[in-house]
Amino acid sequence: MTENNERQQEQKRVDFVIEQIDDQINEAKAAVETAHNETRAVEKNYSANASVNLYEIDDAMDTNVQIQQQRQLVARTVENETILKRQLTTLQELQGSPYFGRIDIKDDGDFETESLYIGVASLMDNDQTDFLIYDWRAPISGIYYNGSLGKVEYPTPNGPQKTELTKKRQFTINDGKITNMFDTNDTVGDEMLQAALGSQNDQLMQNIVATIQKEQNDIIRDTTSDLLLVHGAAGSGKTSAILQRIAYLLYHSRASLNADQIVLFSPNRLFSHYISEVLPSLGERNMRQVTFAEFLTRRFEGLTVETLFEQYEAQHGTPSAVQKYLESPQVMQQVEAYTAQLTAENIEFIEIQFEGQPFFHESHIRQTFATNPENMSIADKILATKNALIKELKLRIKEAATATWIQDELEQLPTDQLHDLYGDRQSDDFDSEDEQLEYLGKRWATNRLRVVYDAIYNNHFIDSYSQYREFLDQLNVAGIDFSQAISDYDHAIEFHQMPFEHCAPALYLRDLITGSGQNRQLEYVFIDEMQDYSVAALIYLKHIFPKAKFTVLGDSEQALYSDIEEPEVLLSRLSQSLNAKRTNLISLNRSYRSTTEITNFAKSMLPDGEKIIPFSRHGELPKAIETRDEVAFNQQLSQEVSRLAGKYDTIAILTRTMDQANQAYRQLRHLQGTKLLTANDRVLPTGILVMPIYLAKGLEFDAVIAYDASKNNYPNAHTAGILYTISSRAMHELTLISLGSLSPIVANHRSLISEQ
């Protein structure tokens, strides 16, 4: 068949599939409408019942049962409607571009070749007999991404199945028309990638299903590792691959895994927004997302937790020996040893108060703790202490039920509150008035003393911050003097602040003592930008998610907060500390984001850069502008920004610090569409964006200006990671402007830049 004929044949098939999709969309719309009407009717009925006057005691019981039933019915109809809507959305996704790939396979002994088409979701024909499209995550679809023509294998429930791959074809289909189509022997070809990567930056990350590369596919389809480490150059598709991986895992464990059991630690809030559409575009719900700062703030309720960004801004020069120690696995081992030897005498117990008066004295709590058998673990002893205190509390509630203060308060209660106090019982259920008063007194005393219960439950009888201070005090590490760090810590705690460097060991200590803080429901933890986490922090995360499989990804060379590290060094540190049984390490060295010229320049700044392979997409050489004084600097900056703004949608001016971002913004704000972004921003706009580099982690822009790439600002190799991260955010153009002479990190590679 000639190429033209083949294309016509394929277009005919696309037309046929789209007709089927159109039919199914019409059916789905009707089904959604019916479901919607049903939900509305059920909801209406429910709200009519729920508004029945519950103070009419006799009616209340019946009404409650009815309401329960109605509520379940509402939940079912809503769920039904949601499922139908999701099906409709999937069909609509498929409508313009039903698939992107085709594989032809021939099983042993078969004479006929079977053609399978691959898209973002599966689709059956109207008769529900044949698959018109296979989901990209189906086991058989793995061949599309992995296999070269010839004998291949794919997993089935009955073990690996052998087959022969005789054709692999790629399509670009827009609005139902095939705009590009070609056969390829190997993995997904570069031509498609060129088209995908050459376009202008979108505000939101796109899914990459049509062009997943082989090594990315290995990341996506790994279901066996407890710890999957993905190390990859800037722009090598780490984030893209793990988002596809989440979609893959959700598809393969539909029955046992839902999006709430997956959490992604993301580097900043802008990033969370940037990636928010990838999973929905694949028909999946988003996983939970949290930044490490948000996570810590929740754990240290009531304290203001210093963030990594604040620590970076405040820190001048290299981190202190104390900081390095507090980030190391050794500190976590010391925490374990310290908590294991704690006894009744050296735990920092504090009294539990009720309305400003001691309710449980500290000495009483200490004695209660001391009655536990010695060989019990500290966490078990604390648990036993809590149980004993709760038992006592119950006795005291019983006593309080008939006490004057409770009975006096009862008398003062407004009718509706008194009514609520009856709970399931009614006023004529009691044999005597005394019985009734005691019942109500007990319920009221329980209410009133709930604060005591909460204090026990939440371990508020231990001052974990003082305990941590005691821990610091007893540390004895050769060559490290902790005295200044301890007085800084005291000062911070006095002002209800928690310095960043203490977060992981302090939380670990608290959790080991109280035996709390762990989450056993979470199945998968993803940590992006792993190089920004101390090993101590990763050990803590591993501790609190004991059942979860970890996917940890990053780039040791995008080092903002520490020196650049050889990937091998970072990885061996991590896998040892995270103590995983089945570890898999995948390295991605091909960089897709930037033009060849930008990648070649960026990698020249790295000690280990030669491993990085630029994707072959060409553009201009990065441009360097050296200026003599501030006036010239600001003038050049404005000119360059205006030039780039005429060409691209999004230009980022990336600075080393927030102060510099403020300076740059003052110079540029007269230009229309200029925005200054801070750590509180959650949405990434288009236009001229000014921000410090740590807020641009994980993001990409059409053009980037590295603000003041001078010798002064980036004096030596310690700062190379920052300039590398800045440069690697650029997709199409990169400009470096310096006040005074260029940084030696750049100046040593003049052949890779054009100078002005």
Ligand X SMILES: Nc1ncnc2c1ncn2[C@@H]1O[C@H](COP(=O)(O)OP(=O)(O)OP(=O)(O)O)[C@@H](O)[C@H]1O
- Beta-ladder partners of 178: 173
Return the residue of 90, 97, 163, 213 that touches ligand X, per CB under 6 A: 213
Give the orientation angle of helix 378-401 with respect to helix 362-370, to 10 degrees: 130
- Widest CA span of the chain, in angstroms? 98
Contact 244, 212 (CB under 8 A): yes
Nearer to ligand X, 121 or 696 (CB): 696
195 binds ligand X (CB under 6 A): no
Selection from 52, 48, 47, 41 nearest residue 78 by Cα: 41
Identify each DSSP E strand in 350-390 by its residue range: 352-354, 357-360
193 binds ligand X (CB under 6 A): yes
Return the residue of 98, 101, 142, 235 that touches ligand X, per CB under 6 A: 235
Give the pairing of strands 701-706 and 730-739: parallel
Minimum separation from the CB atom of position 561 to ligand X (A): 15
Q: Hey, what amino acid is at 435?
A: E
Instruction: Read off φ and ψ for residue 591, nearest 5 degrees.
Output: -110, 125
Tell me if 645 is assigned to a ligand binding site: no
Residue 76 and residue 63: Cα distance in Å, rounded?
A: 20
Tell me if 730 is assigned to a ligand binding site: no
Burial class of residue 536 in the structure, from the number of CB atoms within 10 Å of its CB (0-12 exposed, 13-18 middle, 19+ buried): buried
Minimum separation from the CB atom of position 188 to ligand X (A): 7
Q: Hey, what amino acid is at 459?
A: N
Residue 378 and residue 515: Cα distance in Å, rounded?
A: 8
Tell me if 150 is assigned to a ligand binding site: no
Site string for ligand X, 568-607 (x = CB under 6 A): ------------------------xx--------------
Residue 629 is classified by DSSP as S
Q: Write the CA distances from 476 to 325, 327, 466, 516, 660, integer angstroms.
A: 12, 16, 18, 28, 40
Residue 72 and residue 535: Cα distance in Å, rounded?
A: 46
650 binds ligand X (CB under 6 A): no
Nearer to ligand X, 81 or 532 (CB): 532
By beta carbon distance, the residue nearest ligand X is: 237
Tell me if 238 is assigned to a ligand binding site: yes
Selection from 494, 86, 483, 11 nearest residue 280 by Cα: 86
Chain positions 504 to 563 lying near ligand X, rule: CB under 6 A, are 555, 558
Contact 640, 607 (CB under 8 A): no
Residue 234 and residue 599: Cα distance in Å, rounded?
A: 9
Stretch that binds ligand X, among 203-211, 255-263, 310-318, 533-541 (CB under 6 A): 203-211
Site string for ligand X, 215-234 (x = CB under 6 A): -x---------------x-x
269 binds ligand X (CB under 6 A): no
Nearer to ligand X, 511 or 597 (CB): 597
Minimum separation from the CB atom of position 102 to ligand X (A): 18
Tell me if 234 is assigned to a ligand binding site: yes
Stretch that binds ligand X, among 191-199, 360-368, 543-551, 736-744 (CB under 6 A): 191-199
Nearer to ligand X, 501 or 555 (CB): 555
Return the residue of 39, 236, 307, 627 that touches ligand X, per CB under 6 A: 236
240 binds ligand X (CB under 6 A): yes
Minimum separation from the CB atom of position 238 to ligand X (A): 3
Return the residue of 239, 339, 595, 634 that touches ligand X, per CB under 6 A: 239
Residue 112 is classified by DSSP as S
Q: Hey, what amino acid is at 98?
A: P
Residue 600 and residue 752: Cα distance in Å, rounded?
A: 7
Return the residue of 238, 245, 443, 603 that touches ligand X, per CB under 6 A: 238
Helices (H), 646-694: 658-668
Three-state secondary structure call for residue 442: helix
Chain positions 670 to 729 lying near ligand X, rule: CB under 6 A, are 698, 700, 728
Minimum separation from the CB atom of position 271 to ligand X (A): 9
Minimum separation from the CB atom of position 199 to ligand X (A): 10
Minimum separation from the CB atom of position 232 to ligand X (A): 5
Q: Please enumerate, by residue number, every residue annotated as part of a binding site for ATP.
A: 232-239
Binding residues (CB under 6 A) for ligand X: these are 193, 196-197, 206, 208, 211-213, 216, 232, 234-240, 555, 558, 592-593, 698, 700, 728
